[in-house]
Amino acid sequence: MPTISQNSDFQTVITTFEMTPGTCQDLLDALSDAYENFISKQPGFISAGLHVNDAQTRIANYSQWRSREDFQAMLRSDEMRRRNREISGLCKTFEPVMYDVARSFD
């Protein structure tokens, strides 16, 4: 379960994907498969969530990692590079951005 806290040492990554409603489900399936069968099994993975907007034109992905290096190692793997080529073909753009939690509110 994701923990959003400014007191954590986790690396937070938020990735946004832009696509058409016609490819939303295909992209969601590809991302779900990547998380279930590969990403969640990588060293340093903590948790993730996928969010779809009402128009099915954007997916937002929130993930947490033990460290920046763990996330980068996953991205550099041959398996993820192959998957990212597939994912790239299903969307207009996608951009992973690393964040530190500046403030959290309960």
Domain extents for the chain?
11-96
Please tell me the predicted confidence (pLDDT) of residue 103. 86
- pTM value surpassing 0.85: yes
Q: Which CATH number fits domain 11-96: 3.30.70.100, 3.40.640.10, 3.10.560.10, 2.60.40.790?
A: 3.30.70.100
Confidence of residue 106 (pLDDT cuts 50, 70, 90): confident
Between the two ends of the chain, the Cα-to-Cα distance in Å is 15
Residues forming a β-bridge with 47: 64
Tokens of 83: 């998957």
The pLDDT tens digits for 22-78 are 999 999 999 999 999 999 999 999 999 999 999 999 999 999 999 999 999 999 999
Average pLDDT over every residue of 19-23: 96
Nearest to 56 by CA among 20, 16, 92, 15: 20
